[in-house]
Each structure stands twice: as structure tokens, then as C-alpha cells.
Amino acid sequence: MKKIYLYGNWKMNMTQEETEGFYKDFVGQATPLAATMGKTLEVAVFPPFTSLGVAASAAKSLVSCPAPILGAQNVYFEPKGAFTGEVSIAMIKDVGCTHVILGHSERRTIFGETDKLIAKKVKATLDAGLVPVFCYGETLAEREGNATFDVVSRQLRALSALSPAELEKIIYAYEPVWAIGTGKSATSAEAQEVCAYSKRLAEEMGARSVTVLYGGSVKPDNAKELLSMDAIDGALVGGASLKADTFLRIYKGYAGI
């Protein structure tokens, strides 16, 4: 069985108390998967900055199953200084993060992040030894205008200054904007097509092999079909990652547990 990456992006949800609740439920839900976690299943959660501290402490108290990997949802590339409202890589590392989501479509569309800014964040994150989870994907208008591959290519090629070894350390997450939070997932064929294209592109840029997740309305009932596609290595889950039960059922359904 291939290794599945199950990553949960909590977005602007989950207070500290709710985060503690998630970890309490997580133990019960994940214990049957304890032997798989870290081998054929890699679980990560990305709480908001304010809940990273309690998530890290709750993770330390898990005994009957491995804790999920901890990541942040964003970071700034400068090391410190007068950047009001921003958080540095050293700060998220200090609180226990090993991963960080970068280039999410909500950062690109709502907060105006450009390919250039995101590339700087990716480079700084890699330099600090953290794993960037690099998100990209087309809008509905771009898909309908047959521009999906051009957009994806532009977004990925923004990373072309990186070395092959650096490109291989990134986890890529193809998230078509029209499928995020809409309940309308890409079909497994649509997701497979773009994930396979992304892998070819990363190879053209020098990487030997890369990990590509799909994100956009992944739920327990559509996960099996998506995760069974050969170019899809896992899922970046939004809404369905807020409850440990629903989140882990995404993997359980796939694995037939």
C-alpha cells in the first residue's frame, strides 16, 4: 500500500480549548492506526498561530498513538524586525512546527500574495530546514478558459530558482480554487490529471520525484476514489479536518479500516 499524507488545514478555526478537544478525540480515533502512522500514513495538522502552543503541548501528552506533525499556515520570510502582524520562521520552529503551508489560494486571493513573495517564503523556509507545503491551483474562470495548465505551470515555475534537492523537499498541494470550501471536489480524473502534470513539471525543473497532495472538498465519502489515483499522494483537508473522527475517516475509508 502506498504512503498516504493526510494533512489538515484548520484555517481561521479552533480556539485553544477546541484544539485541546481535537487532540483528546484524536487519541481514540488514531489508536487503531498507531502502527501505520509514520509508515504508510503521515498525519499533520496546521492550527492557527494562537493554537500552536497548546497543540504542541497536547501532542507531547499523546501516548497510545504518534502525534500528528505540527505545521503553521503561513510565515514571513524576514528573520525579525518591524513587520507588524507577521510571524517568523524561527518563531514557528520555536513552538514546535516542522512544516508550513505557503501559497494557499486564500493567501493569494484575499491577501494579495504574489508568486514572487511566495517563492521567497519557500526559499527561507527550506533554508531553515522546515518543510513547505506549497499550494497552487486555478480559479473557476481559469479552468473554464482552458488556462488550468498555464496557471499551474506559472505557479510552479515561480520555484525554478530552487535546486533539485530543494524542489524534492517541498510537499506540493494542488488545490483548485473552485473546489475549496464549496463541497464540489474535483473529480478523481481531474485531480489526477493536474497532479500528474505537476509531477512532470517538477521533473522538468530537475527534481527526481515529488509528493503531490490534492485539496478541495475532500471528505470521507470521496477520499477513497481520490487517494487511489496514482499521481495523488495524499490530501490537504480543510473543513473535514476540524474533527478528529471525520479527519481520520478520510484515511480509514481509503484503507478499508
Residue ranges binding ligand 13P (CB under 6 A): 9, 104, 175, 180-181, 215-218, 236-240
CA distance 61 to 81: 34
Give the residue with the Cβ less far from ligand 13P, 155 or 217. Answer: 217
- The Cβ of residue 156 has, within 10 Å, a number of other Cβ atoms equal to 23
Q: How far is the CB of 8 from ligand 13P (least distance, A)?
A: 8
Distance CA 196, CA 189 (A): 10
In the annotation, is 99 catalytic?
Answer: no
The residue (of 92 and 106) whose beta carbon lies closer to ligand 13P is: 106
Q: For residues 234 and 238, which CB has a smaller minimum distance to ligand 13P in the complex?
A: 238
SS3 of the chain: helix, strand, coil, percent, to 5: 45, 15, 40
Cβ-based neighbours of 11, under 8 Å, separated by 6 or more:
48, 73, 106, 238
Q: Minimum CB separation from ligand 13P for residue 200, in Å?
A: 23
Q: Which among 215, 203, 247 has a CA at the least distance from the CA of 14?
A: 247
| 104 assigned to active site | yes
The one catalytic residue among 42, 99, 104, 106: 104
The C-alpha torsion from 170 through 4 and 248 to 240, rounded to 10°, is 50
The residue annotated as part of the active site, out of 42, 113, 138, 175, is 175
**By Cβ distance, which residue is nearest to ligand 13P?**
238
CB of 215 to ligand 13P, least distance (A): 4
Report the nearest approach of ligand 13P to the CB of residue 238 (Å). 2
Q: Which residues carry out catalysis?
A: 104, 175
